């Protein structure tokens, strides 16, 4: 069975964006990247087995919080291409009107850069690259969920 790219399916049913990934603001990329990362982690967590939703949420929240993302992004920086590094830096340096409730400004900015990168890769139809970077970072930081 052929697996369609999720974004291709969305575009098929709802139409394509008029913008190229390079044309989105860093915070726009971070917005979609936040959802992408959350879905990746939720998928990993739900695949651990049946359990209580509060346990799924607790485990997911511990991995997607800004502090955890900041640790992860520090581990993957050496793997990024120049293009990816530029996207990450733009996201990290973007001035946001909001900040995380329970994170330092440094961790929040690092996480925003990471989310911008994931959003960019998603919109470029490069989910394999996103998944590789996330898996590498989760493993290097010891954050890969393995049990509920």
Residues annotated catalytic, as ranges: 34
Is-contact 99 105, C-beta < 8 A?
A: yes
CA distance 113 to 111: 5
Contacts 24+ apart (CB under 8 A), 78-84: 79/133, 79/136, 80/117, 80/133, 84/117, 84/120, 84/121
For every residue of 100-147, DSSP letters joined together read -TTS-HHHHHHHHHHHHHHHHHHHTT-HHHHHHHHHHHHHHHT-----
């Amino acid at each position: 069975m052929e697996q369609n790219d999720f974004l291709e399916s969305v575009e098929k049913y709802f139409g394509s964006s008029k913008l190229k990934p390079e044309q989105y603001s860093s915070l726009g990329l971070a917005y979609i990247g936040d959802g992408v990362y959350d879905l990746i982690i939720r998928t990993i967590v739900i695949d651990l087995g049946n359990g209580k939703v509060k346990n799924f949420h607790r485990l997911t929240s511990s991995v997607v919080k800004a502090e955890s993302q900041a640790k992860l992004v520090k581990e993957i920086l050496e793997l990024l291409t120049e293009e990816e590094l530029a996207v990450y830096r733009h996201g990290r340096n973007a001035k946001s009107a909001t900040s995380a409730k329970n994170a330092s400004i440094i961790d929040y900015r690092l996480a925003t850069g990471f989310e911008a990168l994931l959003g960019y890769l998603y919109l470029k139809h490069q989910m394999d690259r996103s998944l590789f970077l996330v898996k590498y970072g989760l493993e290097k930081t010891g954050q890969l969920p393995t049990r509920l």
